[in-house]
C-alpha cells in the first residue's frame, strides 16, 4: 500500500470520527488546511467525494461512510499492534544470577557483553557466592554451583569439571628451578581455605608426598590465591579453564603437567517452574556455550 494513501486514510478516519476538519487537525497535530488537502488528495485517488461540505459542517457521503466503516477498525487494529510491539520493545527484565566469585570474574563477566549485545532487553544482576548447594536460587532466578553430584529438583545444565594445576609466577619458577616435583618442598604453598587437603591430593596424583615442613599461606577466595601466586608469594593450585587468561598472559605459568581432578563440576541451575522461561533458558544455553567453547 502506498504511504500517501495510508496517510490519507489516517486523516480521513480522524475527520470522519469527529465530523470536523479542525478537531481532526487538533488530534493529529496538523493544520486544518493540511487535513483538507489530505482529504482532497484521497478523494482524487478514489475518484469520488467522501464528505459533503455544508455550511459550518461536513457529513459523510455514502461512499465515505462505507470507507470509514471498513478502514476505521483496520487502522485501530494496526495502531494497537504497533503500540503492543513498541511496548514490548521498551520493556526490560532483570535476571539475577548467583555465581562463584572466580567463575564470575574470569569467565562470565568478561564475556557478558556478548550476551547483552544480542539481548539488550535483559538486565543481568550478578551476586557472587561460594557456589555451594546453599546458593540454589532463592530470591534470584538462577545460580552456578560447584558440586560433586548433580542437584535434584532443578533444571540443570552441566558445565565443566573442576580441575586444578600448579601455578606460580615465571620468576618464582626460575628461582626454585621447578622442573621436578620435589623442588616444591622448598616453596611456600598457597591454599584456598575451603580445600585444606588439596596439596596432599595433588602430590599423591603426581606420585609424591607433601612435605609437612612446607610453609602455607591460606586465603579465602580464589582470586586472592591467583593474585598471591602472580606476585611471587608462593605456588598455588588454580582451576582450569577459569585461570586460562592468567596462563595465556604468562602472569602465571604451570611448571608441571599433573592435573588434579577434584570430582566436582559446575552446574547452571534454575527452578523447575521456570522450565519454559525463554529468557532463563537463553541465558543458561549461552552460559553452557561459553563454558564448552571458551568463546
Tell me what percent of the residues of the chain surpass a pLDDT of 90: 66
Which of these three, 75, 90, 105, is where a domain ends?
90
Q: Are residues 80 and 118 in the same domain?
A: no
Among the candidates 57, 90, 123, a domain finishes at 90
Quick count: other Cβ atoms within 10 Å of Cβ 33?
A: 10
Assign 137 to helix, strand or coil.
Answer: coil
Report residue 82's pLDDT band, with 50, 70 and 90 as the boundaries. Answer: confident
Residue whose C-alpha cell is 620468576 = 171
List, for residues 103-134, the tens digit of each pLDDT value.
Answer: 999 999 999 999 999 999 999 999 998 776 66
Domain range enclosing 21: 3-90
Let me know whether 48 and 173 are in one domain: no
Q: What is the pLDDT of residues 156-191, one digit of tens each?
A: 999 999 999 999 999 999 999 999 999 998 899 999
Q: Are residues 113 and 151 in the same domain?
A: yes
Pair (156, 204) in one structural domain: no
Q: For residue 130, give the CATH number of its domain.
A: 3.40.190.10
Confidence band for 295, pLDDT divided at 50, 70 and 90: very low
Domain count across the chain: 3
> What's the pLDDT at 84?
65
Asked if 61 contacts 52 with a C-beta cutoff of 8 angstroms, the reply is yes
List of residues 6+ apart from 101 with CB closer than 8 A: 128, 129, 221, 222, 223
Q: Which helix (H) or strand (E) holds 257?
A: none
Whole-number pLDDT of residue 246: 96
Q: What's the grid cell of residue 107?
A: 569467565
Which of residues 63, 90, 117 is at a domain's end?
90
How do residues 202-260 score in pLDDT, each as one tens digit?
999 999 998 878 899 999 999 999 999 999 999 999 999 999 999 999 999 999 999 99
Amino acid at each position: 500500500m502506498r504511504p500517501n494513501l495510508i496517510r490519507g486514510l489516517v486523516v480521513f478516519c480522524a475527520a470522519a470520527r469527529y465530523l470536523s476538519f479542525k478537531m481532526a487537525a487538533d488530534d493529529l497535530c496538523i493544520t486544518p488546511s493540511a487535513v483538507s488537502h489530505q482529504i482532497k488528495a484521497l478523494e482524487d485517488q478514489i475518484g469520488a467525494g467522501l464528505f459533503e461540505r455544508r455550511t459550518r459542517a461536513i457529513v459523510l457521503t455514502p461512499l465515505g461512510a462505507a470507507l470509514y466503516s471498513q478502514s476505521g477498525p483496520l487502522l485501530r487494529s494496526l495502531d494497537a499492534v504497533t503500540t503492543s510491539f513498541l511496548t514490548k520493545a521498551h520493556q526490560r527484565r532483570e535476571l539475577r544470577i548467583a555465581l562463584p566469585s572466580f567463575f564470575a570474574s574470569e569467565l562470565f563477566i568478561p564475556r557478558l557483553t556478548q550476551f547483552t549485545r544480542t539481548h539488550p532487553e535483559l538486565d543481568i544482576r550478578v551476586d557472587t557466592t561460594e557456589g555451594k548447594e546453599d546458593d540454589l536460587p532463592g530470591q534470584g532466578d538462577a545460580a552456578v554451583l560447584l558440586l560433586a553430584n548433580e542437584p535434584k529438583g532443578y533444571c540443570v545444565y552441566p558445565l565443566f569439571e573442576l580441575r586444578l594445576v600448579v601455578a606460580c609466577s615465571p620468576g618464582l619458577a626460575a628461582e626454585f628451578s621447578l622442573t621436578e616435583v620435589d623442588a616444591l618442598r622448598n616453596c611456600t604453598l598457597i591454599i584456598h581455605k575451603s580445600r585444606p587437603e588439596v596439596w596432599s591430593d595433588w602430590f599423591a596424583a603426581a606420585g609424591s608426598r607433601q612435605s609437612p615442613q612446607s610453609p602455607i599461606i591460606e586465603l579465602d577466595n580464589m582470586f586472592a590465591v591467583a593474585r598471591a601466586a602472580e606476585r611471587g608469594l608462593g605456588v598455588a593450585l588454580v582451576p582450569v579453564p577459569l585461570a586460562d587468561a592468567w596462563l595465556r598472559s604468562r602472569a602465571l605459568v604451570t611448571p608441571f603437567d599433573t592435573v588434579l581432578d577434584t570430582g566436582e563440576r559446575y552446574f547452571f541451575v534454575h527452578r523447575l517452574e521456570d522450565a519454559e522461561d525463554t529468557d532463563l533458558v537463553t541465558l543458561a544455553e549461552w552460559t553452557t556455550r561459553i563454558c564448552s567453547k571458551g568463546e
